[in-house]
């Protein structure tokens, strides 16, 4: 183990992370759907005692236009405590911010002023394509050997993949190579995370850029051609070990959320929609002897609706699907949060027994049909719904935003999705309730749409722990 790593926001265990000072800032990716203005990183004040609580207190424009900022993360995190070969300067300092449309990755330095991050480098689409053979960067995690950057496209200009994982240097951000040494049957890509001490990586599937760029393609959905499997890999070797098919009807297996215990052998993946009944689902993967398996543990049904209240893509079905587009697992592995972007619901499940989740709480905000308003503005119906979800390290606060992806926003919310961010407080024994004081929206975000949230000092979906 590398001893010199001393960043105070690196934690060896979930208990250490929960006991650390609470987050005071959120970094929120904001994008311009028209691609005529630069995308931006907004900084939101999370200090409930501050006069600027729930307000945007920092703003950094990206160079150029047309990035469509999506998922982003830190150059380093708590898992560095389990990595060898890193020097004492490795710290949670830089945000690596991919543009899903441009294939550029902007590097933002959050020091010396965390409210004024500075763009210090851009890893270009050409760098990514030539260095790893990938494009359309989507999700990243800091891990052994470097920063793991999942990409849904093949080389620059190839919108039919296969996608995979690019490896970037932790400190220089140079593109090192493609991480895979033997990809097996994997062709579609989306997310990837790991069981650190078990030497296992789990990845998931969405679609090639040509399948998602202009919205959901009904013919591909009904033909069950979107991703419906997760993959098991040897983390150290980049070698494919096993494909777990969730069933072709379970279309778009997206976010993977492994247990935060590095010795654990289970986790959850969210599935957007079933072609059988428009329901959404959560699957649990787990190790059974020497084989990995997956089983469905949560089903969220579609809700009947008047076709006149639905966008054209859903009118033939007379129902609104939940559209499970994000999930997040609290650091203590107690609660799983499930965003139902279509119905406008954020669900909380007690997963103390991960094989038998139990619904513990729910809130409604937005939604295709309901348009449920926020208590801060009870007379204003909201578009969009709970989408990107982030949980504080102590599990007491849940933050979420309302935009999925530009073309999909337009498809399911054709009258406009707007921009808003909300916060829910978590009860001692479970249950969630909206914070009526916290509701930054359109004007705060200067008319841009908002997506991924990262919390200062780390959060539930960016850290792995080593327990050593």
3-state secondary structure of 115: coil
Closest CA to 66 of 39, 48, 86: 39
Give the total residue count for the chain.
468
Could you tell me which residues come within 8 angstroms of residue 9 by beta carbon, excluding any fewer than 6 positions away? 20, 78, 91, 92, 457, 458
| Residue 5 to residue 87: CA distance in whole angstroms | 7
Tokens (6 digits) for 457: 């000092």
Tokens (6 digits) for 321: 């699907």
One pLDDT digit (tens) per residue for the chain, 468 residues: 444 557 899 998 889 999 999 999 999 999 999 999 999 999 999 999 999 999 999 999 999 999 999 999 999 988 878 766 555 568 999 999 999 999 999 999 999 999 999 999 999 999 999 999 999 999 999 988 899 999 999 998 888 879 999 999 989 999 999 999 999 999 999 999 999 889 999 999 999 999 999 999 999 999 999 999 999 999 999 999 999 999 999 999 999 999 999 889 999 999 999 999 999 999 999 999 999 999 999 999 999 999 999 999 999 999 999 999 999 999 999 999 999 999 999 999 999 999 999 999 999 999 999 999 999 999 999 999 999 999 999 999 999 999 999 999 999 999 999 999 999 999 999 999 999 999 999 999 999 999 999 999 999 998 878 664
The backbone torsions φ and ψ at residue 82, rounded to the nearest 5 degrees and listed phi first, read -100, 0
The model carries a pTM of: 0.97
Domain membership of residue 142 (yes or no) is yes
Domain that holds residue 97: 14-455
Strand partners, 267: 258, 285
3-state secondary structure of 254: strand
Domain membership of residue 461 (yes or no) is no
| Residue 137 to residue 114: CA distance in whole angstroms | 25
Handedness of CA 415, 419, 421, 422 (dihedral sign): negative
Q: Is 352 exposed, middle or buried (0-12, 13-18, 19+ CB in 10 A)?
A: middle
Total of domains in the chain:
1
Domain membership of residue 2 (yes or no) is no
Question: Is 352 within 8 Å of 332 (Cβ atoms)?
Answer: no
Domain membership of residue 439 (yes or no) is yes
Domain membership of residue 56 (yes or no) is yes
DSSP letters spanning 387-440 = -SEEE-TTSSEEEEE----HHHHHHH-TT----BEEEEEE-TTS-EEE-TT---
Tokens (6 digits) for 266: 């289970």
Domain membership of residue 391 (yes or no) is yes
The sheet with strand 397-401 has its strands ordered as: 389-391, 397-401, 421-426, 432-434
Question: Is 433 within 8 Å of 397 (Cβ atoms)?
Answer: no
How many Å from the N-terminal Cα to the C-terminal Cα in the chain?
9
**Token pair 């990837």 in the structure block, residue:** 192
| Residue 59 to residue 25: CA distance in whole angstroms | 12
The backbone torsions φ and ψ at residue 457, rounded to the nearest 5 degrees and listed phi first, read 85, 0
Residue 38's CATH number: 2.130.10.10
Closest CA to 381 of 368, 369, 372, 390: 372
| Residue 197 to residue 183: CA distance in whole angstroms | 22
Consecutive H or E run containing 383? none
Domain membership of residue 251 (yes or no) is yes
Handedness of CA 440, 445, 449, 452 (dihedral sign): negative
| Residue 33 to residue 204: CA distance in whole angstroms | 26
Domain membership of residue 323 (yes or no) is yes
């Amino acid at each position: 183990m590398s001893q010199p790593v001393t960043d105070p926001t690196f934690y060896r265990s979930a208990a250490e992370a929960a006991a650390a000072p609470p987050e005071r800032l959120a970094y929120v990716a904001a994008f311009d759907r028209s691609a005529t203005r630069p995308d931006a990183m907004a900084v939101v004040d999370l200090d409930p005692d501050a006069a600027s609580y729930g307000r945007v207190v920092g703003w950094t424009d990206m160079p150029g236009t047309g990035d469509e900022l999506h998922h982003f993360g830190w150059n380093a995190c708590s898992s560095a405590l389990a990595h060898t070969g890193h020097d004492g300067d490795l710290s949670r300092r830089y945000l690596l911010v991919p543009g899903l449309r441009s294939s550029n990755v902007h590097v933002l330095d959050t020091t010396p002023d965390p409210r004024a991050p500075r763009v210090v480098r851009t890893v270009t689409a050409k760098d990514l394509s030539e260095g790893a053979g990938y494009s359309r960067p989507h999700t990243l995690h800091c891990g052994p050997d470097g920063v793991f950057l999942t990409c849904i496209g093949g080389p620059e200009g190839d919108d039919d993949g296969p996608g995979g994982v690019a490896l970037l240097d932790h400190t220089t951000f140079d593109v090192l190579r493609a991480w895979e040494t033997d990809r097996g049957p994997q062709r579609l890509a989306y997310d990837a995370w790991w069981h650190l001490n078990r030497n296992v990586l789990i990845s998931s599937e969405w679609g090639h850029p040509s399948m998602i760029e202009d919205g959901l393609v009904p013919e591909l959905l009904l033909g069950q051609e979107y991703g419906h499997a997760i993959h098991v890999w040897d983390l150290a070797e980049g070698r494919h070990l096993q494909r777990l098919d969730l069933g072709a009807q379970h279309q778009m297996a997206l976010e993977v959320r492994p247990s935060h215990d590095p010795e654990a052998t289970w986790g959850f993946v969210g599935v957007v929609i079933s072609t059988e009944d428009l329901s959404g689902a959560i699957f649990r993967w787990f190790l059974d002897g020497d084989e990995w398996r997956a089983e469905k543990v949560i089903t969220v049904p579609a809700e009947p609706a008047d076709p006149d209240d639905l966008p054209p893509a859903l009118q033939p079905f007379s129902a609104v699907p939940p559209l499970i587009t994000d999930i997040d697992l609290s650091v203590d592995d107690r609660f799983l949060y499930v965003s139902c972007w279509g119905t406008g619901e954020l669900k909380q499940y007690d997963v103390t027994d991960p094989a038998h989740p139990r619904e513990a709480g729910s809130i409604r905000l937005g939604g295709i049909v309901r348009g449920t308003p926020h208590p801060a503005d009870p007379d204003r119906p909201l578009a969009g719904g709970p989408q990107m979800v982030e949980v504080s390290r102590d599990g007491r606060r849940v933050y979420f935003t309302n935009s999925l992806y530009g073309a999909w926003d337009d498809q399911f919310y054709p009258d406009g999705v707007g921009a808003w961010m909300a916060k829910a407080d978590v009860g001692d024994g479970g249950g969630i309730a909206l914070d009526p004081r916290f509701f930054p929206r359109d004007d705060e975000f200067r008319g841009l749409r908002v997506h991924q949230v990262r919390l200062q000092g780390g959060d539930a979906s960016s850290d792995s722990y080593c327990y050593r």
